[in-house]
Amino acid sequence: MIANILSIAGSDPSGGAGIQADLKTFSARGTYGMAAMTALTAQNTRGVTGVHEVPSAFVSEQITAIFDDVSVSAIKIGMIANANIAVTIADCLRHHVEVPVVLDPVMVAKGGHRLLPEDAVEALKEHLLPLAALLTPNLPEAAALLDEDVATDRDTMIAQAQALRGLGPQAVLLKGGHLDGEDCPDLLVTAEGHQWLEGKRIETENTHGTGCTLSSAIAAEIGKGLPLSDAATEAKTYVADAIAASDALAVGSGHGPTHHFHAFWP
């Protein structure tokens, strides 16, 4: 059976991030993609100019409609928009704890626009982190969740990932792309210990939606039945290849998108 993966996230009309990136990723990884929308954004490769939040009751209605009819193999949560939506999502998913959740704490857009107010951060920590099979923050997001300085070395990454796991998620993948240097190491922390997923920095401006894409790829691989470590490794390779192939696209004049279908398009 082909796995059915649900994204609960915001929309990016330029197609590089949000549910558009999630659905492309699900398809590229050989799964069937679905989406419950939390917010409409007005954005492009240069930044976000507006956000229209979906009423929390309708977010609930979307999620309920999916689960009433479809067998869901895994869930990816992205932009939650506000505290009410965070609580609503948690209320829905508590009825489906058997479905693994990959939570990407989308807090700030690539162009610097804040996408999550402070009370929503607290709601995310209280209600959604305990439901997550995997939390996938970047270094600034990890620092914001912990109210600490942004990690600048691997030892601090280990300490912060372990602290984040103490907030409730079963595992944490802390993304190291904000570190200085040629390397982009990600750190996977589970109950069994930690594992480094190594990678080299790719020189390109086309990194719009990489966080959405990585978390979605992991959700797809988990939904297909891969163990978490293998799923994270597969997803990291996929995203690196998508970034490396991104210059084949000509989308916008800012941070362009990754090439989600690099393995299929000539």
Residues facing residue 47 across a β-bridge: 44
The separation between the first and the last C-alpha atoms of the chain, rounded to the nearest angstrom, is 28
Residues facing residue 39 across a β-bridge: 10, 53
C-alpha to C-alpha distance for 35 and 6, rounded to whole angstroms: 5
Task: Give catalytic residues, as residue numbers.
Answer: 175, 207, 209-212
Three-state DSSP at 49 gives strand
The DSSP 8-state label assigned to residue 114 in this structure reads B
* Structural tokens at position 6: 């649900």
Is the four-CA dihedral 184, 202, 264, 252 of positive or negative sign?
A: positive
Residue 72 identity: V
- 229: how many CB neighbours lie within 10 A of its CB? 14
Residues facing residue 197 across a β-bridge: 186
C-alpha to C-alpha distance for 11 and 92, rounded to whole angstroms: 20
22: nearest Cα among 38, 6, 43:
6
